[in-house]
Amino acid sequence: VSQTQLPTPRDRLLDAAAHLFYEKGVGRVGVELVSQTAGVSKRTLYQQFGSKDQLIADSLVAKGPSVIEQYIRSDDTALSSRERIILVFRRLQEWSTSVGFRGCPFINTAAELADPSHPARHVAREFKLRLRAHFLQQAEAGGAADAECLADQLLIIFDGAIVQAVMDLGSCEGAATQAVATLLDAHGVSAGA
Amino acid sequence: VSQTQLPTPRDRLLDAAAHLFYEKGVGRVGVELVSQTAGVSKRTLYQQFGSKDQLIADSLVAKGPSVIEQYIRSDDTALSSRERIILVFRRLQEWSTSVGFRGCPFINTAAELADPSHPARHVAREFKLRLRAHFLQQAEAGGAADAECLADQLLIIFDGAIVQAVMDLGSCEGAATQAVATLLDAHGVSAGA
């Protein structure tokens, strides 16, 4: 007898929640809709997560890695640090023009949940800090004059470019990537680095 | 008999709505709370605005100019273009460390309201484009090599710096302002320009 691993009710709830919260915003999606979409009872939802707030946090934990993979991939190690940094912004450009793009789920969560002590705010911050850590690592490997500061600047441009895409504010294609190249030059992270 | 101009019920509703939506997010604030806070009946609220969605849009129209004044002021005309641009980022730094700062109400509105055709999304975009127009004007006056592109880049850094402040992502103080100085140098907007 072949055993196929079917998604558990918990998995289905996490998947439906992540999808719906991203598409419509956490405020506009009730537990009713999540449980219906997952095909799981509301009773099970509350048994598994206790509250909508915890479901928001846990669904972000579950979805987060696939978001990060949109712009950081493990098979980039053959490239130079400079190329690896610029690649993040090229992929952001692809992602931000793809169907269903609704911004960064971590930024959206932080914008929607005003209380900084909300459990999902903590999760959102952790995932953003992973991207910062990637920038810092590449900045150091590339010999940046001030790697910490460059990492901050790259993350600022990354998040600003997302806001620009969501709100349709830009006039000049590739403005973010060009800014990144300028900053890499200023910090001494050259093409061969 | 002296006539003091008291705020109308409409003004009180706009004021309460703008304040509450910014503080708690539009999703977490109902018309009930807005009307209670304003001391105006829900019936009047609906007579004046028709719907919560329209109230969100109209309160952003009413609040927007005071947000813009946080970082652009009319008495800056004696300064150079470069100084006027950098001043926007200095003021952002002050604003983002002030009590009650909860990010940019325009970004928050766009993040919360997933539907790009929502009336408040249009208002939010208009106010962001005012800041972009200010950057473009200063970039042109300062002789930027590519003023349109520089304006995009400055707005990207502005919005990214807001996300950084809201989510507490930074390690290097003044990273945004330093990035701005680097980009101004690269575009040839010098201190005397």
Residues in chain A with CB shorter than 8 Å from the CB of B156 are 157, 160-161, 163-164, 175-176, 179
- Going by C-alpha positions, the residue among B110, B112, B105 that lies closest to residue B28 is B112
Q: Which is nearest to B95 in space by CA: B162, B36, B140?
A: B162
SS3 (DSSP) at A50 = coil
Considering only the beta carbons, identify the residue of A103, A125, A160 that sits closest to B111. Answer: A103
Calculate how close chain B gets to A173, using CA atoms only, in Å: 8
Taking an 8 Å cut-off on Cβ atoms, the answer to whether B175 and A152 are in contact is yes
Give the pLDDT score at B78.
85
* Block residue for tokens 């998995």: A11
Q: Which residue of A148, A168, A172 is in closest CB contact with B125?
A: A168
Q: Does the distance separating the beta carbons of A128 and B169 come in below 8 Å?
A: yes
Percent of chain B with pLDDT over 70: 98
Q: Which residue in chain B has the smallest CA separation from A177?
A: B153
- Chosen for mutation from A21, A104, A156 (greatest number of chain B CBs closer than 10 Å) is A156
Does the beta-carbon distance from B171 to A151 stay under 8 Å? yes
**Torsion region of A149: left, alpha or beta (phi above 0 gives left; psi -120 to 50 gives alpha):** alpha
Q: What angle do CA B12, B16, B19 make, to 5 degrees?
A: 140
- Chain B residues whose beta carbon lies within 8 Å of the beta carbon of residue A124: 167
* Structure-block tokens of residue B24: 């708690």
Residues of chain A in contact with residue B128, where contact means CB-CB under 8 angstroms, are 167, 169
Residues of chain A with pLDDT under 50: none
Q: Do B175 and A102 touch (CB under 8 A)?
A: no
What is the ipTM metric for this complex? 0.95
Encode pLDDT of B66-99 as tens digits: 999 999 987 778 899 999 999 999 999 999 999 9
* Structure token digits, residue B67: 């947000």
**Residues of B whose CB is below 8 A from A56:** none
Residues with Cβ < 8 Å from B85, sequence gap 6 or more? B135, B138, B139, B142, B154, B180, B184, B189
| Residue-wise DSSP of A108-135 | HHHHH---TTSHHHHHHHHHHHHHHHHH
| pLDDT of B1 above 70 | no
Per-residue pLDDT reduced to its tens digit, B24-69: 999 999 999 999 999 999 999 999 999 999 999 999 999 999 999 9
pLDDT at B134 over 60: yes
Confidence grade of residue B3 (pLDDT, cut at 50, 70, 90)? low
User: What sign results for the dihedral spanned by CA atoms A109, B23, B107, B99?
Assistant: negative
Average predicted confidence (pLDDT) for chain A: 95
Q: What is the DSSP string of chain B?
A: -----PPPHHHHHHHHHHHHHHHH-GGG--HHHHHHHHT--HHHHHHHHSSHHHHHHHHHHHHHHHHHTTT--GGGTTS-HHHHHHHHHHHHHHHHTSTT--S-HHHHHHHH---TTSHHHHHHHHHHHHHHHHHHHHHHHTT-TTHHHHHHHHHHHHHHHHHHHHHT---STTHHHHHHHHHHHHTT--TT-
Beta carbons of A128 and B27 less than 8 Å apart: no
B179:A156 CB<8 A:
yes
CA distance readout (Å), B128 to A30, A159, A178, B77, B89: 31, 15, 21, 21, 15
Does residue B193 carry a pLDDT above 70?
no
Q: What's the CA gap between A54 and B77, in Å, rounded? A: 50
